[in-house]
C-alpha cells in the first residue's frame, strides 16, 4: 500500500505537500521510499535530500507499464513507508492520438496516458487530492466531487486543503465538503516562510540552496500538525519483504567518470544502478571544482543540468576543459545529455549574450533563449552510434531553452513527437564516433542494451 499525491491542476502545491509529508516521516525516524510520476529530475532531488534514498521516476513513456510495476514493487518493499508524487493535474497526460508505441505497449486511446491517474490505476493505489483553496470556498465541493466521480477506477482517499486562509475560510470549506463524506487528510495554511525558489527550468536544485535544511525543518514542523496522521499512516505503510531482493552487481572492471555537481546533476538513478550492476565503478567528479578529470577511467558520462548558470566557472577551469577534449579526441567514449551536450560545445552564449568557452569537442555553440523546447520524443537512430544501432527506436524527453548554432551533418536521430507523427527534425552528435551527445534524455530501464553497449565500447579503451 501507498498513496499518490495528486493535484487538481499544476501549481496547487503537490511538491510542498509531498515534502511536508516526507520531512515529518523522517523526523519520526521512519524509512520512506519516494517516487515521482514523469520525467522530472529536480523534484526527485528534493525527495532524496529529505529521505536519504534515491527517488525513482515512474514514466510509462520513457520505460513501460511493466517496468513501472516492477520498479515500484522492488523499491517500495525496501522501506517502511512509500509515497508517490504525481505530475500536473490528476488526469493530465499526453493528448489525443497517443500511440504508446514503445516497449511493447498497445495503442492507447485514452487522453490520460502517462498521467497521475494512469499510474494510480497501474499500481492500484489510492489518491490524495491536493486542492488550492486560496481563491474558493464552497466551490471546493464541486471540484472534489468532479474528481471523485470522473473515473470510477480511481479511489480518492481524501483531500488536502492547501493555502487555507482564516478559521472562517476553513469552516466554509469543511461545511461544503461534508456531504461528500470525503476525508480531509490535511490542512495547510497560507505560508509566507516556506518558498522554494525557481528559475527558467523549474525549481532551483538542492545543491544550490544553502538554507534548504532550515526549510525542511519548517516543513517538518508544519507536517507534524497539519495532517490527519491517524488516517494517513495506514495508507502510507508498505509491506517490507523479510529478505529484500538483492540486485547482483558484477565485479567492477571499468571506471566511468560521472560529472555530478551544481552544473551537472540530472541523472535517473536507475541508469546509474544499471551501470553498476553491469560491472562499472562510478567515479563522481566536478567539472566546476576539480583540477583534473579522474584517473584511470575508460568512459565519461555528462548528465543534464544548468551549465549556463555556471558557464563562467566552467570556462575558467581550463585544465579540465582541455583534459576532457583531449580524452575524447583520443577515443574515450562519452555520453553527454542536454547540459552535457552544451558543455562539449565550443561555447555557451548565456541569457545576457556573453560567450563562455567550453570543451570544444563539438563544432557548434549553445545559445540560451526564451523559447522552451519541451516534450516526449520518439527518436530513430540514423546510424550506428555509441549507444544504439541504426534503425533502433528509443523514447526520451527534451526540456531546454538553448539551441545550437550549427546542426550536425550526420545526426544521431530523426525525432518526432511521441503523441503524434509530427516531425521534430534531426538532432544529436555522434562525431567523433565515441561520443553520444544529444538533447534527448533517455531512461535505460527498459533498454538495458544501451548501458551494455556503452560499457562494451569503454572496455575497448
Question: In 3D, which of 280, 203, 277 has the Cα closest to residue 461?
Answer: 280
Q: How far is CA 258 from CA 129, 199, 245, 285, in A?
A: 38, 25, 26, 6
Active-site entry in 55, 71, 133, 338: 338
C-alpha to C-alpha distance for 461 and 457, rounded to whole angstroms = 7
Query: Could you confirm whether 426 is annotated as catalytic?
Result: no
Kindly state the DSSP code that residue 321 receives in the 8-state scheme. Answer: H
Q: How far is CA 384 from CA 389, 446, 459, in A?
A: 4, 20, 18
Q: At what angle do helices 14-27 and 212-226 cross, to 10 degrees?
A: 90
341 neighbors 366 (Cβ within 8 angstroms): yes
Give the position of cell 556503452.
454
Task: Please report the DSSP string for 199-237 in residue order.
Answer: ETTEEPPGGG-TTHHHHHHHHHHHHHHHB-HHHHHHHHB
Grid coordinates representing 435? 561520443
Give the position of cell 516492477.
70
HSE-CB of 201 using CA atoms within 13 angstroms: 23
Q: How far is CA 422 from CA 190, 289, 330, 419, 425, in A?
A: 43, 42, 38, 9, 9
Which residues are known to be catalytic? 338
Amino acid at each position: 500500500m501507498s498513496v499518490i499525491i495528486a493535484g487538481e491542476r499544476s501549481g496547487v502545491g503537490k511538491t510542498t505537500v509531498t515534502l511536508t509529508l516526507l520531512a515529518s516521516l523522517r523526523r519520526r525516524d521512519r524509512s520512506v521510499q519516494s517516487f515521482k510520476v514523469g520525467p522530472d529530475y529536480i523534484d526527485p532531488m528534493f525527495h532524496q535530500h529529505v529521505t536519504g534514498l534515491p527517488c525513482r521516476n515512474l514514466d510509462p513513456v520513457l520505460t513501460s507499464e511493466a517496468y513501472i510495476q516492477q520498479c515500484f514493487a522492488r523499491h517500495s518493499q525496501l522501506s517502511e513507508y512509500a509515497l508517490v508524487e504525481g505530475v500536473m493535474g490528476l488526469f493530465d497526460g499526453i493528448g489525443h492520438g497517443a500511440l504508446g508505441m514503445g516497449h511493447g505497449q498497445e495503442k492507447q486511446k485514452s487522453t490520460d496516458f502517462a498521467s497521475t491517474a494512469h499510474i494510480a490505476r497501474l499500481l492500484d493505489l489510492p489518491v490524495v487530492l491536493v486542492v488550492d483553496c486560496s481563491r474558493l470556498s464552497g466551490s471546493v465541493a464541486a471540484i472534489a466531487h468532479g474528481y471523485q466521480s470522473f473515473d470510477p477506477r480511481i479511489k480518492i482517499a481524501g483531500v488536502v486543503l492547501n493555502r487555507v486562509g482564516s478559521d472562517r475560510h476553513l469552516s466554509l470549506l469543511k461545511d461544503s465538503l461534508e456531504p461528500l463524506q470525503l476525508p480531509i487528510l490535511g490542512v495547510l495554511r497560507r505560508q509566507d516562510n516556506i518558498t522554494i525558489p525557481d528559475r527558467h527550468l523549474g525549481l532551483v536544485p538542492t545543491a544550490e540552496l544553502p538554507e534548504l535544511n532550515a526549510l525542511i525543518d519548517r516543513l517538518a514542523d508544519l507536517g507534524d500538525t497539519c495532517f490527519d496522521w491517524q488516517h494517513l499512516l495506514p495508507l502510507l505503510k508498505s509491506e517490507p519483504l523479510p529478505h529484500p531482493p538483492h540486485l547482483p552487481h558484477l565485479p567492477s572492471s571499468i571506471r566511468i567518470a560521472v560529472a555530478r555537481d551544481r552544473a551537472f546533476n540530472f541523472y535517473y538513478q536507475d541508469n546509474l544502478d544499471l551501470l553498476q550492476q553491469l560491472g562499472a565503478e562510478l567515479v563522481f567528479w566536478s567539472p566546476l571544482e576539480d583540477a583534473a578529470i579522474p584517473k584511470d577511467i575508460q568512459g565519461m558520462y555528462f548528465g543534464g543540468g544548468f551549465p549556463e548558470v555556471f558557464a563562467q566557472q566552467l570556462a575558467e577551469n581550463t585544465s579540465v576543459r582541455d583534459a576532457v577534449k583531449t580524452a575524447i579526441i583520443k577515443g574515450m567514449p562519452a555520453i553527454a545529455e542536454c547540459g552535457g551536450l552544451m558543455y562539449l560545445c565550443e561555447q555557451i552564449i548565456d541569457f545576457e549574450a556573453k560567450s563562455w568557452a567550453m570543451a570544444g569537442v563539438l563544432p557548434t555553440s549553445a545559445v540560451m533563449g526564451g523559447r522552451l523546447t519541451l516534450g516526449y520524443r520518439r527518436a530513430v537512430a540514423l546510424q550506428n552510434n555509441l549507444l544504439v544501432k541504426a534503425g533502433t527506436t528509443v523514447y526520451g524527453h527534451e526540456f531546454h531553452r538553448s539551441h545550437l548554432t550549427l546542426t550536425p551533418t550526420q545526426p544521431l536521430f530523426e525525432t518526432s513527437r511521441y503523441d503524434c507523427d509530427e516531425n521534430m527534425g534531426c538532432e544529436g552528435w555522434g562525431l567523433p564516433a565515441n561520443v553520444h551527445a544529444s538533447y534527448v534524455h533517455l531512461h535505460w530501464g527498459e533498454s538495458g542494451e544501451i548501458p551494455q553497449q556503452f560499457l562494451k565500447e569503454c572496455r575497448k579503451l
